[in-house]
Amino acid sequence: MAEREAWFEYWTDGRRFKAMPINWKGWVSLLVVATAPGVSLALAARWLGDRFGALAGLPALLLALALSFAAIYGLVRARGRPRKT
């Protein structure tokens, strides 16, 4: 099986997971994955907040942040390579 082109380089620094895009595909995918769930769920939070009060929109906003981080982590692990030290 041919090796895929890596879009990211990742490493762990202590307990922190860090990653860096290494080409234009990595930058574009990072922008799309970071903004799409956040924008859509932020709009949902706004809609829920308008209908049911401010506290109803807060869980949707927190869910948007969690989904964005999970999507970025999954993308980096799938399309990235470990940093050579």
Q: 30-66: per-residue pLDDT in tens? A: 888 878 776 777 777 777 777 777 677 677 778 778 8
Residue 22 lies in a domain: yes
Range of the domain at 28: 8-82
What DSSP element (H or E) covers 15? none
**Percentage of residues in the chain with pLDDT exceeding 90?**
13
Q: How many domains does the chain have?
A: 1
pLDDT of residue 1: 47
Query: Is the full-model pTM beyond 0.75?
Result: no
Distance CA 3, CA 61 (A): 38
Residue 3 lies in a domain: no
